[in-house]
Every structure is written in C-alpha cells, then in structure tokens.
C-alpha cells in the first residue's frame, strides 16, 4: 500500500496553523454556568508560522529577533514601572491614612477611628467600583486565569487594556484600603496584560495601536510574551528575578522551550533594574512616604545564620501546621467562593459593592479595635547590638508601635502588627533581635482574626493576591513556635524572626503547593541564602501534609472557575486505560476536503467541537485524512466568503492563500472572536462549496488507539497540545526516525543511510 | 474499516518497555573510529514500568517513593562529601607544595624550583596513571558524556565505580598538580557516577551490592537519579544549589518533568547543607590548609554595588572580548583534541603519560619563571577601609605575594596570580578595594600564558574542568578593562574586581554558551545579587558574539567524540523538509510476530538497527503493526532460549512473561550489554520460532509521513525520544482527544461525552 499524495510546498501553508482544539471546554463552561468562552487559542508548535519565517529573508529574521528582544525589554520596563507606581500609591495612601489617624487620635479616639475607617472605605469603594463597573476580569489574583491562558484556555477579557487599568487602580484601592490581601498576585496579572498588549501593538479600542507591530499578532508569539510578562510580574512584586523565572517555569506553564528561558530571564532582570533605579530615585525623598526600604523587601540577612539539629523538630512542626492551615484555607475559600459564585454574586453589582464595603468596615473595626483592648508592654532594655528604637518615633515606620499607651516608654504589640501596613507588619514579624516583642496572646488573637479576615476577603470583587496574607498568617504562628523554642531551649542563637520566615514559607507551601519557585522567592525576599535548606524542609513537609487533604489554591480555584488545567501528574486510572476506551463514545465529525457551505453551517450549529478532521478521497477511491481544521478558521472563511466556489473542486492553494493575510485568522485578544451569529449567508451562498485544503493543519499529532492514556497525557503537557487525533494501528511503517536522522545535514543524509538499508522482506 | 484486535491487559505488559532506538549511533561511531557503543538505553516514557507500579499495592508505592527520596538524600550526602574530600586534598597538597617551596627558596631558588616542579610532576604523574591505566573514562570533564547519557547515548564506562574512583583521585592529582584546569567539571561527573551507582545498588564487581535496591535498576529511574547527581555535582562544585538545578535543567537535559524538579532541588540543597557543615567543622582547624574561606567561594558582596550608565560601554566591550576569546578557545581546543584523538593518543598510553608530564613541567616553569622576571612593586599606602595586609604574612593566603622581592615592603603582582592555587588567584583577581594592585603588563603576560596553557592542557588524559581556567582567563582581561575604566573615568565607585567578575562571566559565556544557569552560578559564587543585570548583559553579548563563530564547547566536544546531541534549535532546512523525505532511502526492517530464530539472527547480523517494527496478520488478511522490539531485547531472548517454540504460533503472554524478571532486560551500567557474539545456538534451535508479541512496545510514538521535520525534532527533544515510527497518512480517525478527556474521571467520562456526540456521517 503506497499512498500517492501530492507533496506540499510548506511555504504555501502559512495559514495551516496549530494543533489546537477548543473542543474541550464548552461543556464545562455551560454546566458551571459562567461565561467562559473557549476560544481557539494557539498554544503550540506553530510550524506553519515557522515556515513562514523560514521563507522570508535574513533581514526579516534579524529584525524579527531584534523586535522580540525590544518587546521583552519594553515589557520589563513597563511592568517594573507599574509595580513601582502601585507601590508608591499604596505606601502614600497608607502613610497619609496612618498619620491622619494618629494626629486625630490625639484629640479623640472615635474621630480617629472614623478617619481611619472612612479612608479605608473610600479606597475599597473605589476599587470595587472600578472592578465591577469597568473591568470585571480584574477581580481576584488572576493567576489561575493566566495559568489557564498559558495552557490554552482563554477566559474572556483577562488580557484587555481595561483589565490592566482596573487591576492597577483596583489593587491600589484594595491594598491601600487595608484589606487582608496582597498586591503580588495582581502584579503577575498586570505583567501578563502588559505583555499581551505589547504583543498585539496596543489596544484597538483605545487608539494606541501600531500597525507595524503586528508581526507578533499570532498566538504563539503572544503566548511567549505573556510568559515573559508573568515572570516580570513576580520579579516586580517580590524583587526576585530568579524567583520570577522559576515561577513561570514551575507554576504557570506545563510545556517548556529552552529558547524561551533566556528571554524570560532577561525580562526578569530588566524589571529588577527598573525597580531598583526607581527606588534609588526615591531615596532622595521624591516619593513621599515610599522609599525607606531597600531593594530586598524583608531583609533578614542579619538574623540567624546557623542552626542546631534539635531545632529540626520545631521546624518540622511549623511545616505540619502550615500544611494543615494551608489546606484549611484552601477548603474554606473554595466553599466561600463557590457560594459567592452561585448565590451571592448573582444578585448583581450592588451586592458585590456592598459586600466589599462591609468587609472593609469589619477589617477597620478589628484592626483598630483589637489593639485598643490590648494592654501595652514596657519597652525592653536598650540593646547595644540593635538600632531599633522603642517605641518608634512618631511618623516613622518600624517595630514597637505606641498605640493607646499611657506611658511614653511603652508599646502595643498587637498594634505593631495589626495597625500597620502589611509590608511593615511582616517586617516586624520577621524582625530579628527583637525577642519577646510579642506576647503569645496577641499573636494568637492576630492569627485567628487575620485568618478569618483573609478567608472572608478572598473572592470579593477586588484585585486580591494571596501571597502577603499567606505570609502574614504563616509568620504569626511561625513566630509563636519560635517563642516556644526560645523558651524551651534557652539558646541565644535561636531567633524568632527565622521561625516567622519558616512559618510564612510553610503556609504558602501548604496553600499554594509551590516548591522550587517559592523557595527561591523566599530566599530572594529575605536575602538569607543560609536558610535555604530549612525553607526546603518546611516546604517539603507542608506540601506533603496539604496534599493529603486537597489540591493547591490555584488548582482548586481554576477548577471552580471551569478552567481545565492538566495537573502535573496523570491520574492513576490512566495507566490502565487505552486511549481508544476514552473515545469509545465519541462520534468523530469529519469534513470532506470540498464541503458545501450549508453543510458546514449545519455541522457548526449542531455541535460545539472546536476542531474537525478533514478527509479526502484518493484516485484509488481510498479515504485519507488530510489534516485538521479549526472551528475559528471555518468561521473566518464563512464570514469573508472569499473562498466560496461554484463546483470546481480543487483550486490553486497559492491563489486561495493570497486572498488572506495571516492576521485574519489570529484571534484578537481584545475581542471574543467570531461566533456563528455574526455570519449572514444567503441561500445561494449556502449552496456553494469551499475547498478546505489550504486551511487545514496538514500534520496534527496522531497516536495509535492502543496507547495508554498516561502517555497521551504527557504528550499534551509536554508539548502544550490541545488536541490529538486517535488513529487505528498503522498497517505499515514507512520509516523509523532516530536521532541520527535529525542530526545529519540533508546532503549527508542519503549517504549516511545507505549502509543501513538492509531489507528483510 | 474496523480493526479487531484483542484488547491487552496492561499489567501483563510490564516488559514492553520503551521508545528507544539505539539505531542512530553506530554509523557515527564506526566512521569516527572510537569505541562508543550505542546501547539501548531507556530514556523515556516507560509506560510499562508505570503500569507495573500501578498494579502493585499502596504499600509498595509508598516504600518506592520513600526509597527514592532516601536515594536522592544519599546522592546529595555522598556528592557533598566527595566534593569536600577533593577540596581538602587539593588545598592541602597545594598548601604543602607552596610552603615547602617558599621554605626551600630562602636558601636556593633552583632548589625551590625543583621542589615545586617535582611536587607538581608527581601529582600529575599519579593522576595520568590512574586515568590511563585504571579508568580511561575519567579523562576530561565528563560533561559532554553526561549530557549524552541524559539524552539517551551511553558512552562505555562513563558511570562505572572505577570511573568514579579515577575521577576523584585523578582530579586531586591534576588540580593539586597546578595544571591549568579545574575540579568543577569532574565533580559533575562524580555526582552522576555516584547517582548511577546508588541507583543500581552498588557495583557488582566491587562486592558492594544490595539486591533489595534493585527497584531502581531500570533505565528511567536511573536517568532521574543521574540528573539529580548532575545537579548535586554543580551544587557541590560551586556551592550553588540553585545554579545546580538550573544547570541540570538548561544545559544537560532536553526534556523536563516537573516532578523531577523538586527532587533535583532537594539533592542540591542537601549538598549545600553537607558542604556547609563539613566546612564548619574545618574552621576549627581540623583540615590543615583547608577551611579558611567561607561558604561563598569568591565573595565580592563588599564590592561595587552601584553602576553608572557610562559604564555600560566598557562592560559591553568585556562581553565582546569574551565572545571572541571564548570562540577562539573552542576552536583551538577542537583542533587540538581532534589531533590528539586521531594521531597522538593512538600511539598508546605511554605517550599520554609523557604528554601530561611535559605539560606539567611547562606549567611549572612558566608559573615559577615568569614571576621571577617581573619587577616587584612597592606596597600601596595603608588603607583604613581595607584589612588586606601588604605583603601578606608568610604562610597565609591572600593578595600581595612577596616573591623574589628584595624589599620586605614590596610584592610581586604576577606571582600573586600565577604562583598560587587557582582559587586564591581568582580571589585575588576578584578582590575589591585593591585598585592598581596589578600592572597591565603582568596581566597581559598572564593572560597570554595562561590562555595557551589552558588550550594545551585541555584534552590531556587527566580529569579536567574548564570552569576555573575560564574564570581565570576572563577575570584577567576583565580586570584589564577595569583598570582602563578607572584610569579614564576617575570614578572612585568603579571597582576593578567587578570588571574581573564580568570578564569571567563573559569568557564562560563565550565558550560554554550557557545563559541562565551560568548567571545564577556567578551570582551564587560571588554573593552579589546586585550585579545580576550586568552579568546578564555581558552574557547576552558574549554568547551572541561566540555563536557567530562556532558552537559551544560541550557541543563541539560532543560532536568530536561522536555523541549525537540534539541542539536546542532545529536546523533551518528542517522547516521545509517532510519526514518522509528523510526516510526515503530507508528500507524498514520488520519482524513478523512469530519469527524464526535463524531469521532473527541473520537480520541482526546483517544490520545494526536497534529497533524493529513487528507486524502481524489479522484474520482478514490485513497486516497491522503491533509494536516495536529492541535489538537488546531480542538478544536477551536469544540468549535465554526460554521462549523458543516448535511451531504453535501464539502462546499465553502471561506465561511467557512469567519466565522473565524485569531486570533481565535492563542494561547493567557496569557492562557493555550483550552482543551477538555472546550467543551460541545449535542448528536445531535456529529452526525454532519465537513469539515476539509479549516483548514489544505496543504503542510507540507515530507521526504521519508529511509532518515537518521541525515538529518531529521538537517531539524528540521535549519527550526525550530515541525513535519515532513514520506511518502513512491515516485513513480514518477513531477519535479526537482533547484536554477535557484528560481531566474528567473515568466514571464521568461517558456522560460528559454524550452531548457532544453529534455525527455528520
């Protein structure tokens, strides 16, 4: 059996893109009732694109590469400045808030409370209004959505310009408003939005668009840029360039290309440079309340630098607590967000706004009221090694906050962590050489209250990250364990701040289940490489404990939102399942090479598959699969009507393709793509034909029907595929490709083969 | 067309392993004339193995996972201690050498020189003897070989116990003997050897073997462990745990599994803990001349922490020089090693030994003689910020070596870098706040001499790494540029040590073409995160410049050694090539399901393919490909003779498999595997049959014949494949697998499918 099929010239096939099927997601979306749209988003091996590149000249290639580097530079700079802007705004709002409150409190506690409360409320109100009325996709952290995007699932609106604006201003409001959430997750989303906008040359609707930048308006390049943006976001949020790269690598993508690694790393480093330069400018006092801290967010490099073996037990305990609390946090937030999604948020925007305002009020009451109920503590004896002043001078930041203390030599330990910005609170919790600063009861109160606040706040319609609240919670119980260790072992080498840091790592590990990237981020934000092995130990334990209960925070949330992410490990049953069992109940919908327009319309109407195999009949009468066509391509073809033809079946591929430009088929990030409702056809047009051949992906990945599902799963993950065709066992092998075939040059190829061509049949 | 083929029970198929063909390499090996053996080494998706795991109980699974973690712990500890041992030995030998030389020099320069020379000669002689007579695979750095191993190419003997021993003691000799080479590359190889030995439960020949550890005696687990070992080696060599992980990720493997990431990271951290603890023990003076330095090898954290924009130009210059010199280094070493391989080293071991001794003598003469010809310099004025004493006190280490200086207030700048251990020399070159320590002429002399020595030394039959020589060369010209900058800009903020560091990075980048991992390693060995963006800039430039001339050092060496590595980017022509063009000239050698023993023997004799498709005839008379069998499996079957049968074609799979244990088919790391010469068959046996069905890999990866070669290339790299079957375009699609199919549970599966099953034909 020798199938004679005309050889193709690949440079014609520049539109035959993708191994993508969006098929997967409509059911999930519809059943879960949200408005996720599963758009055909190329995530993969766009060989057609490469061929297109290959057919162009050297000059074009160089300008393409240069432009790509320029773009990642731009992404880095823009993300760095966004992060800087958010930081400045948040710190200044908080600064004004606290200084106003402290000033008014001198006269009246109630007036002080009102000022504090009002400040928070206004900021949160602004934030929730921006999000609900202007940019609904900006709510939450955005990390599950970005993870989805980079694995081929496009949630509507997540990468729009308005989402970017909403995210930036919304998180200024929500973080400045003192809610129990962080700005780190939103920054990752911000980076991704910037990357996507840069990649498509601006936003159409906002008139900042450059036509010549459309080189990158294809899905593969955009995906690469978004990966860079994602790393840039982490790098900006934590000032952790290496952590950013590893985050993008470990957490976000399932596939990996080594060429991309270097570019991602470059973006991260650019962000670091930008943030550092901007902060350097701030040290001269240009930035109001911002700029006191260094590049390292919570520097503990002066802390504990050695550890004894007997400390491993309490550290393991920290890990176990982290695993338990993290899993509890995931479970509670899952219940709550599912309740919100199905009941509360269905009642309209007003409910969302009221909810956020209520949470803000509750937060204000707790953070103002609880410290009032706490007794003040006398400052410790002056320590010659420490330059920390107790109580801290008015108008400054740091430990030992004097809040409602009658004696000027006293401080309020609960106010030190509760009545403060979160960054400062964490700095205070991590602070070394401040043994016995906090009483156990204060820490316990704070832990219980803040944990509850974080759970309640999660899922309100404001931009919200979970890193900082996680660090707050974790460092509180970590510090508690540290106090215990100090009391039990009476070793002056033990530092409570170290345990706080380990606690923070353990809670994040127990909740988000990240490993390597989290480790590196923790090291980079605290600048203490010595603690790396301890952080690893704690993470190992907390992740293992957490995994015994439920999946990670992002996975749980993605599942609830109907984003189908492939976990890193295939399920157990897949080992025993052959792929043909999985598609037993499927009836495959195929198109003939030349199909009637009316038939295509009816097929598209009657099902929601996103990819269709295309078959052709050879002269011998045999049927052969010539490729796969995407629903979105069919829609474009139907709308443009350029390719309709009366009857003559085969037309010149080159001619057909010349009528389309490459960007016709690429989805706009800012639109929802075509739908069948947008297409209007007359009955005469319905009777015409289309030759689909130029528009198919001629070589989709295929697997034999008896391959195990595990193997297919890995194929999907490692190559980032969105569909695979299952075919019967082949009846013939045309050749065996080995590594040698891929190494030798084409000229050597034929010679190299000769000696091995020994037939036996 | 509906092929009826009996469904298989996967738990029977536990021997049907692998997508591996060793086919690729024999030609290359034979033509290049070395004794590389291309063994069937499973690098991949060993689903049969997973199925085997799946069929066992929960307890077994837990013990398996526990054991795997224990093993990586063991690898970390062992690699850490090996590194520590090598360090101690090298430092002590060097210490004794220098103190003896300095002592004797007080009386006579000639006697001093003789002592110095003899010391070096004895150490190098020991090293080259160990390597040539005992462990030939221990020569060189071993990194190209390990890279090959992890990509599926097993060079003979690289992971043996004797190689490990040879590597450790050989590198003590070669590094202690003062040759222009480093111990870092060999440490990576050491880590890999340890991992492989641990993985197979010890070495058979050396009676340290535990039967119960054979759980991991399969190729997939061994590959994972070797990856860990590789990272452990880097981590131990540079005390850079994160750098080690990234090295394994970026440089060594082409595939990547996220589960492995965490384990690799754990190993790296264990190494860091072990090395740190051991070094902590040394600070109490237990280790002789070793133990003065801290955990960070060349700490420059006290150096330049800011940079001006005008410095970017000289820094870019450093990058360009690095690219040029690195490419030159690669080219010269390539010529030289090719000459050595084809001419010099063919003359036998004695030539190799003499060569190494000559190189040692030359090195001794240059490093002793050149400083003698240099004039001494007067010590700089005492600097209150610096605690560096000039000249350094006798018997200590550091800057400002007094060598052949008449005045006690003088030092010899060339001796400071040349007549010193390399670690100290680098520390001196990186040293900050020592402006104008070196004269330009001394640096230039050293650069020229050391570059030549490094080129000549590369390829001698001793364990040799290129990291440290690269750093030496790079930091020399870096410091030269730094001196220029100091003189031109007259800015007190500029530090020559920073430029030395950038120079080191640039030369390594220009020679090895590593990017991310090199960046992180440089940061970790110098502990200055601030310089990260500058290091990146320099690496970007030097890699780009170097790439314009030739491939990276390891790639060039691998190609010369006949190791077929797939580069990270497919070649340009592949975009236009269909896979069927590549296998046009192949005649595929197939076996029938039940084949005659004699036929199999003759096929194996007549060609050197390493994998053969197996076909079967259905009752309908149609032929169908039932899988792929490996040459090595056939050899095992032929040798064991258990499965020979008279005529009855099909036998019970379960029964056949029960006669073999899983480890029968796994290759011993310590042997060369079976060859056809080991098999003796009587004419009666030759007339018998074998049913091959139980031993095939039933679902090898297949690609349609018109897929582009680029796409196949990526498939190979990303999945780490060793062969792929090329089949005709399918005539039918059984189903389309999408992400949804991989997410839903088997029970939900059928339901979820119903609504989408709308057929059109």
pLDDT tens digit sequence for B485-504: 888 887 667 788 889 999 99
Beta strand pairing status for A377-378 and A410-411?
A: antiparallel
Q: What's the whole-number mean pLDDT along residues B600-610?
A: 84
Angstroms from A729 CA to nearest CA on chain B: 6
Helix, coil or strand: residue B141: coil
Q: State both tokens at A688.
A: 């015409």
Q: What's the whole-number mean pLDDT along residues A366-370?
A: 90
Cβ B606–A8 below 8 Å, yes or no?
no
Question: What pLDDT is recorded for position B366?
Answer: 92
Q: State both tokens at A89.
A: 């705004």
Q: State both tokens at B25.
A: 């390499």
Q: Does B728 touch chain A (CB under 8 A)?
A: yes
Judge whether B582 and A737 are in contact, CB under 8 Å. yes
Which residue on chain A is closest to B267 by alpha carbon? A533
Who wins on pLDDT, A3 or A395? A395
Cβ B728–A719 below 8 Å, yes or no?
no
Question: What pLDDT is recorded for position B161?
Answer: 87
Q: Does A389 touch chain B (CB under 8 A)?
A: no
Angstroms from A419 CA to nearest CA on chain B: 33
Q: What's the whole-number mean pLDDT along residues A102-118?
A: 90
Q: State both tokens at B54.
A: 């799946």
Judge whether A320 and A542 are in contact, CB under 8 Å. yes
Q: State both tokens at A344.
A: 């509360």
Cα separation values, B430 from B178, B367, B442, Å: 20, 20, 16
Cβ B759–A585 below 8 Å, yes or no?
no
Residue A360 has pLDDT above 90, yes or no: yes
Cβ A566–B711 below 8 Å, yes or no?
no
Nearest to B706 by CA among B726, B686, B721, B725: B726
Question: What pLDDT is recorded for position A480?
Answer: 93
- Mapping DSSP onto H, E and C, the string for B466-515 reads CHHHHHHHHHHHHHHHHHHHHHHHCCCCCCHHHHHHHHHHHHHHHHHCCC
Residue A515 has pLDDT above 70, yes or no: yes
- Judged by average pLDDT, the poorest of B260-264, B618-622, B666-670 is B666-670
- In angstroms, rounded to a whole number, what is the distance separating the alpha carbons of residues B202 and B211? 9
Kindly list the residues from chain B whose CB atom is less than 8 angstroms away from the CB atom of residue A732: 623, 625, 727-728
Question: What pLDDT is recorded for position A211?
Answer: 52
Cβ partners under 8 Å of residue A82, min gap 6: A168, A187, A190, A191, A194, A236
Question: What pLDDT is recorded for position B11?
Answer: 31
Q: Residue B465's beta-bridge partner residues? A: B182
Who wins on pLDDT, A680 or B361? B361
Cβ B738–A722 below 8 Å, yes or no?
yes
Angstroms from A440 CA to nearest CA on chain B: 32
- In angstroms, rounded to a whole number, what is the distance separating the alpha carbons of residues B452 and B469? 11
Residue A745 has pLDDT above 70, yes or no: no
Kindly list the residues from chain B whose CB atom is less than 8 angstroms away from the CB atom of residue A258: 250, 254, 568
Cβ partners under 8 Å of residue A501, min gap 6: A298, A300, A430, A475, A478, A522, A526, A528, A531, A535
Helix, coil or strand: residue B209: strand
Nearest to A187 by CA among A134, A133, A257, A243: A243
DSSP code at position A244: H
Rounded to 10 degrees, the C-alpha dihedral B499/B504/B510/B513 comes to -120
Question: What pLDDT is recorded for position B56?
Answer: 55
Cα separation values, B741 from A632, B19, B735, B737, B745, Å: 21, 24, 11, 6, 8
Percent of chain A with pLDDT over 70: 79
Cβ partners under 8 Å of residue A441, min gap 6: none
Q: Does B734 touch chain A (CB under 8 A)?
A: yes
- In angstroms, rounded to a whole number, what is the distance separating the alpha carbons of residues B424 and B447? 16
- In angstroms, rounded to a whole number, what is the distance separating the alpha carbons of residues A563 and B739? 11
Question: What pLDDT is recorded for position B167?
Answer: 93
Which residue on chain A is closest to B707 by alpha carbon? A699
Question: What pLDDT is recorded for position A655?
Answer: 62
Asked if the bond preceding A391 is cis, omega within 30° of 0, the reply is yes
User: How confident is residue A477, by pLDDT bands cut at 50, 70 and 90?
Assistant: very high
pLDDT tens digit sequence for B727-745: 888 888 888 888 777 776 5
Which phi and psi angles does A618 have, rounded to 5°? -80, 170
Rg (chain A; Cα; Å): 29
Angstroms from A631 CA to nearest CA on chain B: 14
Angstroms from A571 CA to nearest CA on chain B: 9
Q: What's the whole-number mean pLDDT along residues B153-160?
A: 79
Residue A309 has pLDDT above 50, yes or no: yes
Cβ A742–B587 below 8 Å, yes or no?
no
Which residue on chain B is closest to A535 by alpha carbon? B269
Cβ under 8 Å to A: B residues 651-710: 698-699, 701-710
Which residue on chain A is closest to B1 by alpha carbon? A728
Cβ B722–A739 below 8 Å, yes or no?
yes
Q: Does B604 touch chain A (CB under 8 A)?
A: no
Cβ B704–A708 below 8 Å, yes or no?
no
Contacts 24+ apart (CB under 8 A), A392-397: A394/A102, A395/A99, A395/A102, A397/A292, A397/A424
Percent of chain B with pLDDT over 90: 23
Cβ under 8 Å to A: B residues 516-555: 516, 519-520, 524, 527, 529-530, 532-533, 536, 540
- Judged by average pLDDT, the poorest of A57-71, A323-337, A437-451, B39-53 is B39-53
- In angstroms, rounded to a whole number, what is the distance separating the alpha carbons of residues B381 and A364? 62
Residue A122 has pLDDT above 70, yes or no: yes
Q: Does A272 touch chain B (CB under 8 A)?
A: yes
Residue B37 has pLDDT above 70, yes or no: no
Cβ A613–B733 below 8 Å, yes or no?
yes
Cβ A582–B736 below 8 Å, yes or no?
no
Angstroms from B624 CA to nearest CA on chain A: 4
Cβ B45–A711 below 8 Å, yes or no?
yes
ipTM of the complex in this document: 0.78
pLDDT tens digit sequence for A425-442: 888 888 877 667 788 888
Cβ B515–A540 below 8 Å, yes or no?
no
pLDDT mean across residues, chain A: 78
Cβ B45–A714 below 8 Å, yes or no?
yes
Helix, coil or strand: residue B589: coil
Kindly list the residues from chain A whose CB atom is less than 8 angstroms away from the CB atom of residue B737: 579, 582-583, 703, 712, 716, 723-726
Cβ partners under 8 Å of residue B70, min gap 6: none
Q: Which of B702, B735, B743 to mutate to test the interface with A (most CBs of A within 10 A)?
A: B735
Q: What's the whole-number mean pLDDT along residues A271-292?
A: 77
Residue B206 has pLDDT above 60, yes or no: no
Q: Does B608 touch chain A (CB under 8 A)?
A: yes
Nearest to B241 by CA among B275, B211, B214: B275
- Judged by average pLDDT, the poorest of A479-483, B293-297, B343-347 is B293-297
Q: State both tokens at B243.
A: 């750098």
Kindly list the residues from chain A whose CB atom is less than 8 angstroms away from the CB atom of residue B45: 711, 714
Question: What pLDDT is recorded for position A8?
Answer: 36
Judge whether B743 and A568 are in contact, CB under 8 Å. no
pLDDT tens digit sequence for B633-686: 888 888 888 777 776 556 566 566 666 665 566 555 545 566 777 788 888 888
- Judged by average pLDDT, the poorest of A196-205, A255-264, A682-691, A728-737 is A196-205
User: How confident is residue B457, by pLDDT bands cut at 50, 70 and 90?
Assistant: very high
Nearest to B656 by CA among B641, B639, B667: B641
- In angstroms, rounded to a whole number, what is the distance separating the alpha carbons of residues A278 and A245? 22
Q: Which of B26-30, B194-198, B476-480 has the highest mean pLDDT?
A: B476-480
Judge whether A153 and A166 are in contact, CB under 8 Å. no
Sheet architecture: strand order including B723-727? A735-738, B723-727, B702-704, A702-704, A723-727, B735-738
Question: What pLDDT is recorded for position B9?
Answer: 32
Question: What pLDDT is recorded for position A42?
Answer: 33
- In angstroms, rounded to a whole number, what is the distance separating the alpha carbons of residues B725 and A741? 12
Cβ under 8 Å to A: B residues 134-193: 151-153
Kindly list the residues from chain B whose CB atom is less than 8 angstroms away from the CB atom of residue A733: 588, 590, 613, 625, 725-727
Question: What pLDDT is recorded for position A752?
Answer: 34
Nearest to A519 by CA among A537, A492, A496: A537
Q: Does A25 touch chain B (CB under 8 A)?
A: yes
Cβ B583–A735 below 8 Å, yes or no?
yes
Cβ under 8 Å to A: B residues 359-378: none
Which residue on chain A is closest to B524 by alpha carbon? A529
Type and span of the H or E element at A203 = strand A202-203
Residue B392 has pLDDT above 90, yes or no: no
Residue A44 has pLDDT above 50, yes or no: no
Residue A10 has pLDDT above 60, yes or no: no
- In angstroms, rounded to a whole number, what is the distance separating the alpha carbons of residues B330 and B551? 8
Cα separation values, B29 from B84, B562, B583, Å: 37, 6, 21
Type and span of the H or E element at A630 = strand A623-630
Cβ partners under 8 Å of residue A276, min gap 6: A239, A295
Residue A56 has pLDDT above 50, yes or no: yes
pLDDT tens digit sequence for B403-418: 878 777 788 888 888 8
Judge whether B269 and B228 are in contact, CB under 8 Å. no
Q: State both tokens at A521.
A: 């981020």
Residue matched to tokens 């040590």: B497
Cβ B735–A45 below 8 Å, yes or no?
no
Q: What's the whole-number mean pLDDT along residues B438-456?
A: 92
pLDDT tens digit sequence for B561-571: 888 777 777 77
The residue ranges of DSSP E strands in A371-498, in sequence order, are 377-378, 410-411
Cβ B583–A699 below 8 Å, yes or no?
no
Who wins on pLDDT, A233 or A595? A233
The residue ranges of DSSP E strands in A388-514, in sequence order, are 410-411
Q: What's the whole-number mean pLDDT along residues A726-734?
A: 85
- Interface A–B counts its CB contacts (< 8 A) at 429
Q: Does A731 touch chain B (CB under 8 A)?
A: yes
Who wins on pLDDT, A550 or B566? A550
Which phi and psi angles does A449 have, rounded to 5°? -70, -45
């Amino acid at each position: 059996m020798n199938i004679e099929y005309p050889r193709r010239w690949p440079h014609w096939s520049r539109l035959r893109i993708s191994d993508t099927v969006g098929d997967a997601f409509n059911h999930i979306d519809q059943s879960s009732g949200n408005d996720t749209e599963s758009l055909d988003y190329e995530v993969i091996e766009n060989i057609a694109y490469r061929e297109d590149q290959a057919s162009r000249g050297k000059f074009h290639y160089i300008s393409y590469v240069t432009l790509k580097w320029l773009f990642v530079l731009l992404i880095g700079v823009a993300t760095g400045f966004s992060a800087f802007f958010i930081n400045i705004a948040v710190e200044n709002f908080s600064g004004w808030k606290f200084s106003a409150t402290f000033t008014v409190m001198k006269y009246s506690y109630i007036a002080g409370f009102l000022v504090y409360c009002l400040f928070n409320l206004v900021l949160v109100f602004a934030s929730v209004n921006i999000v609900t009325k202007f940019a609904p996709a900006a709510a939450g952290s955005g990390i599950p959505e970005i993870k989805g995007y980079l694995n081929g699932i496009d949630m509507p609106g997540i990468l729009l310009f308005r989402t970017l604006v909403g995210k930036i201003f919304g998180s200024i409001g929500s973080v400045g408003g003192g809610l129990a959430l962080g700005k780190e997750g939103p920054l990752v989303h911000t980076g991704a939005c910037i990357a996507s906008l840069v990649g498509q040359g601006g936003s159409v609707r906002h008139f900042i668009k450059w036509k010549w930048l459309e080189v990158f308006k294809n899905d593969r390049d955009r995906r690469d840029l978004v990966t860079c943006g994602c790393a840039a976001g982490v790098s900006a949020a934590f000032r952790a360039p290496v952590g950013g790269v590893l985050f993008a690598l470990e957490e976000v993508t399932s596939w990996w290309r080594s060429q991309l690694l270097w570019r991602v790393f470059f973006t991260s480093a650019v962000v670091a440079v930008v943030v550092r330069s901007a902060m350097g400018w701030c040290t001269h006092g240009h930035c109001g309340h911002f700029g006191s801290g260094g590049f390292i967010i919570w520097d503990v490099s002066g802390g504990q630098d050695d550890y004894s073996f007997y400390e491993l037990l309490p550290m393991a305990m920290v890990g176990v607590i982290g695993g338990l609390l993290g899993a509890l946090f995931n479970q509670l937030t899952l219940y709550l967000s599912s309740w919100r999604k199905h009941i509360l948020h269905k009642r309209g925007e007003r409910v969302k706004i009221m909810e956020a305002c209520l949470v803000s009020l509750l937060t204000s009451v707790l953070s103002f009221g609880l410290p009032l109920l706490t007794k003040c503590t006398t400052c410790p004896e002056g320590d010659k090694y420490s330059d920390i002043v107790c109580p801290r001078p008015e108008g400054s930041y740091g430990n030992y906050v004097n809040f409602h203390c009658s004696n000027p030599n006293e401080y309020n330990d609960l106010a030190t962590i509760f009545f403060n910005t979160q960054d400062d609170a964490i700095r205070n919790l991590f602070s070394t050489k401040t043994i016995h600063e906090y009483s156990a009861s204060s820490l316990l109160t704070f832990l219980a209250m803040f944990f509850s606040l974080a759970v309640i706040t999660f899922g309100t319609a404001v931009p919200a990250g979970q890193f900082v609240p996680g660090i707050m919670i974790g460092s509180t119980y970590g510090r508690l364990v540290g106090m215990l260790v100090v009391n039990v072992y009476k070793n002056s080498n033990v530092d409570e701040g170290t345990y706080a840091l380990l606690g923070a790592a353990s809670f994040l590990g127990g909740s988000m289940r990240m490993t390597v990237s989290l480790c590196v981020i923790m090291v980079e934000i605290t600048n203490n490489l010595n603690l790396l092995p301890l952080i690893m130990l704690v993470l190992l334990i907390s992740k293992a404990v957490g995994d015994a209960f439920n999946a990670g925070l992002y996975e749980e949330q993605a599942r609830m939102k109907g984003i189908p992410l492939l976990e890193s490990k295939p399920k157990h049953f897949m080992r025993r399942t052959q792929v043909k069992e999985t598609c037993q109940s499927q009836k495959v919908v195929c198109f003939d090479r030349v199909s009637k327009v009316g038939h295509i319309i009816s097929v598209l109407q009657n099902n929601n598959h996103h990819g269709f195999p295309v078959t052709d009949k050879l002269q011998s009468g045999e049927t052969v699969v010539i490729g796969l066509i995407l629903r979105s391509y069919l829609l474009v073809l139907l709308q443009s009507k350029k390719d309709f033809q009366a009857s003559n079946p085969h037309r010149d591929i080159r001619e057909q393709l010349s009528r389309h430009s490459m960007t016709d088929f690429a989805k706009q990030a800012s639109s929802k793509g075509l739908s069948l409702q947008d297409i209007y056809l007359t009955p005469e047009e319905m009777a015409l034909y289309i030759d689909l051949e130029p528009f198919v992906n001629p070589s989709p990945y295929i697997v034999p029907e008896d391959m195990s599902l595990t193997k297919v799963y890995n194929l999907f993950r490692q190559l980032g595929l969105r569909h695979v065709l299952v075919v019967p066992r082949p009846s013939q092998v045309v050749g065996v490709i080995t590594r040698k075939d891929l190494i030798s040059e084409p000229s050597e190829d034929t010679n190299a083969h000769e000696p091995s061509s020994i037939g036996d049949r």
